[in-house]
Structure 1
Amino acid sequence: MAVLKEIRKYRTLLLMMVPAMIYFLLFRYGPMYGIVLAFKDFKITQGIWNSPWAGFKYFDMAFSDPYFYVVVKNTVIISLYKLLFGFPVPILFAILLNEVRRAVFKKWVQTVSYLPYFISWIVLGGMFLSIFSLDGLINQIVQLFGHEPILFLADDAYFRTILVSTHIFQTFGWESVIYFAAIAGIDPQLYEAAVMDGANRFQRAIRITLPSLLPVISILFILRMTSVLDAGFDQIFNLYSVSVYNVADVIDTFVYRKGLVESEYSYSTAVNLFKSVIALVLVVGVNRIAKSAGGKENTLW
């Protein structure tokens, strides 16, 4: 009866959750039965359940394939680059913009910074392919300084740098939203007391704003670890080419080619399942470290 009473009390909020629950059931949990493909010799004429069991055959194939380790290495390197250089940017952006006193200018900058996030990588990819092409804007600048044009997106030396930079360009504004919300929740009396003590803006940001953001930063970092092996399929797929496979081919693009192009469904499922298991281990591990270092308030559970 107590449960029914609680349901009636919060029925409006529960109804608002229904669309999200339906989405996750249909598109997240429903397809999970396909994991069984990783342990079967899938025959399209026999279907998933009637195909013969293969045990760990496809995991053995993956772990004995030297190129698999190249793909894993690329995924980890690109993800760590994005984490190292991309994660602090929205934090710094939110702190700096919080110090702007002109509300109109602040709103304008926020709006402009959000816009790239709502542009798909099909469109952004076309823009960057044009900008970095042989006759694009960047090469026109290069030629002004007397150098030969460079095909940046087909050069191993430049591809990852462009990948990380364009990722930051698209996401930093949107990712800063939650930091703006956290800053808005800081007690203004803390700033007033700091001003009375003679603290300048930089000192207030370092001594008040940043420490107040640490619980949010910690939780978002843990959540970010869930996608540490997702180097960004949409972005890479729209920017890379065969010439940069050795530095740009990641687990998701590898799975795409093996599964949808070469029709090796069981093998691609095994590789993707491996990625999911590693991501789970990383999340649990980072959450435990954060709990031991900063207490339960800085963790997901």
Structure 2
Amino acid sequence: MSTTSQPDTPAARTPAWSVGDHTVRRIDETALPAATGPWLLPGATADVVTRTPWLRPDFADEEGILRLASHSFAIEVDGLRILVDTGIGNGKQRTNPAWHNLNSDYDARLTAAGFAPETVDVVVLTHLHTDHVGWNTRSEGGSWVPTFPNARYLTSHTEWNYWAGVEMEEARQQMFQDSVHPVRDAGLFELVDVADEGTEIAPGVRLLPSPGHTPGQVTVELSSRGERALISGDSIHHPVQMGHPDLSSCVDIAPELAARTRHRMLDSLAGTSTLLLGSHFPAPTAGHVRREGNAYRLAPAVPGVAAARG
């Protein structure tokens, strides 16, 4: 496992990691405000964070405030261009002030990395939360249309069935209306039955069931030439949950199940060469899981810079 290091050019300054023959690029959307940590992980108090010294300086500041980010991962696999999660999106009406009417250069970053929207083949949605589906669509002529018109948008059947069967509050209904339903109406939405042992969607790319945060959440496993990586989704929102695996997110639908999923994941990764890529981890974003006492820590793997694909 190595980082990808190539000359920096104006065309692409995209952090990237190699996993055998696969290249994983981080497509940045936005850093999340300092208030996000106390809201999202209320148990991660300043005292808890400062008593976990390896979190600083990358993942928290000296006052114990967590750093979090919104980004996607773009992957090259045997000629396929795969995007994992699509962030918050631009121009969406949201109740969360940090997400409301965002105006980021995410689409330009994606294109500069060699993943222009029309070239993306597969979009994997780890779960159907607002900050993971936003760039599914873009505004065109007053309507929301698929951002990736030639892609299959994949999510788990379990995830879709859950949201189809519950009464959603108005804000979540709005998110489905502007970021999910237009993709489904265009015939691009595809539900996947994810087996307990995982389901392969491309050579060396598997969806693994990771329930708790939502009932049908998946993580994404990459493997090639004996190397392996795992994209966490929201099974682990922040590395503080590695030092304190029982810490729950305020938006976990089943907190106890989410904690069991997190414990199982971290135990399976600890001491291995598998690269963990956090869906909300700030830079350096990825690393290797190591045991520390009765818990875990992240040994960061600093990315290189990948040249854009033509």
Shorter-chain TM-score range: under 0.3
TM-score w.r.t. structure 2 length?
0.23
TM-score norm. by structure 1 comes to 0.24
Q: Which structure's CA Rg is the greater one?
A: 1
Greater strand fraction, Structure 1 or Structure 2: 2
